[in-house]
Amino acid sequence: MSLDIINLATLDATQEARRQIEICNACRYCEGYCAVFPAITKQRAFTDGDVTQLANLCHNCRGCYYACQYTAPHEFDLNLPAILAEVRHDSWDRYAWPQGFAGAFQRSGTSIALALVAGLALIFAALVVLRPASGEGFYAYLSHAGMVAIFAPAFILPLVAIAIGLRRYWRDVGGARITLAHLRDAFGSAASMRNLGGGQGQGCNFEDGDRYSNKRRVAHQLVMYGFLLCFASTSSGTVLHYGFGLEAPYGFFSLPKLLGIPGGIMLSIGAIWLIALKLRAESALGAASAWGGDIAFVLLLGLTGFTGLLLNASTGTALVGPMLAVHLGAVLTFFLTTPYSKMVHGFYRLAALIRDAQQRT
């Protein structure tokens, strides 16, 4: 199928999205496909904030495109998944803080690779300068104090940047007071990937055109739950260290290992699967300008899980030092780029789901 990519050089993305949304609102054929279309039907006019909210609510499952009777060569020339993807990526750039970093990681896989190199260089330098006189496991190469000094700011500062961006988003989309019911609805949707299940739960059309598939939904769940398990592993290690005085290294049947190893496996498999699906999918139905950055982000995400597994497997060998540097470099790069890579989509999508829950009640 030959598809025309929307020319955003001559067309404002938000205005074009508004035009297409208004046509969808008149047609309403796709009302049961995902959360976007019921949200569209609740309004007659759409502000820029409304368009931004709908764009971040869209999961790019693409079912609406293949069901639409107004796609090219029809004169309406609808391609809602693509234009909403462009608006969505533009919104992340617009709300990013500091603004100077906006767009660099969304549109360029090269910048992510350069950041990874810088992260590795920093870790290698730390291994030389901060190597302790004694210690076990990882701490024989980098002291606990050294790790905290490097990673605490790298974790906290990006969260501050994301919080500032989310505050700007919430203001623009007209967000109201959040209740427990709103959170329960949004987190339930995110946990089940409900909007990647299609109107009847049969899946979406991301990689197989007009054929339904749950592959992307499952791959996303592997990545999400794998990442959460890895984060829980690190958190449990922190609790054991500070709360119970139990320092690493931990045994195979310890909580950090029981959480981290399955999490690393799930994260690695899910990332590879997502890349394979993205390579099969029609690029003209997404944000074409951000394609390279999206691929680089998934690679980086998978790299954090895979290098963690390799680091665990190298325990007791001479490879621990180099693998520790590679793994910590990947993790450091992941943290530092989070506000500007596609990782930020998880925060904005959750905010969009919360706002959608408010509008439905």
d(CA 111, CA 204): 31
pLDDT at 191: 94
d(CA 51, CA 25): 13
Residues 6 or more apart whose CB falls under 8 angstroms from that of 138 comprise 147, 248, 249, 320, 324
Q: All domains of the chain, ordered by start, with CATH? A: 13-94 (no CATH), 98-359 (1.20.950)
- Residue 307 CB neighbours (<10 A): 21
Longest dimension (CA), the chain: 72
Ramachandran class of 211: left when φ > 0, alpha when ψ lies in -120 to 50, beta otherwise = beta
d(CA 209, CA 186): 28
The residue type found at 206 is F
Residues in the chain, pLDDT under 70 = 1-11, 104-114, 117, 127-135, 137, 199-201
Q: Indicate the pTM of the whole model.
A: 0.89
Select from 144, 135, 146, 126 the least CA-distant residue to 240. Answer: 144
Q: Write the CA distances from 297 to 87, 104, 107, 230, 308, integer angstroms.
A: 19, 12, 10, 17, 17
Give Cα 347 distance to the centre of its chain: 8
First to last CA, the chain: 41
d(CA 322, CA 311): 9
DSSP string, 236-256: HHHHHHHHH--PSP--TTSHH
Q: Write the CA distances from 12 to 90, 185, 240, 298, 347, integer angstroms.
A: 11, 33, 52, 28, 25
d(CA 84, CA 16): 9
Residue 138 C-beta-side C-alpha neighbours within 13 Å: 21
> Which residue intervals of 200-318 are DSSP H helices?
215-244, 255-280, 291-313
- Whether residue 56 contacts residue 84, with contact meaning beta carbons closer than 8 Å, is answered with no
What string of H, E and C letters represents the secondary structure of 159-194?
Answer: HHHHHHHHHHHHHHCCCCCCCHHHHHHHHHHHHHCH
Residue appearing with tokens 């205005």: 15
* Per-position b or e across 265-281, b if 16+ CB within 10 A of its CB: bbbbbbbbbbbebbeeb
Determine phi and psi for 287, rounding to 5 degrees: -80, 95
pLDDT at 9: 38
d(CA 196, CA 216): 8
pLDDT at 88: 95
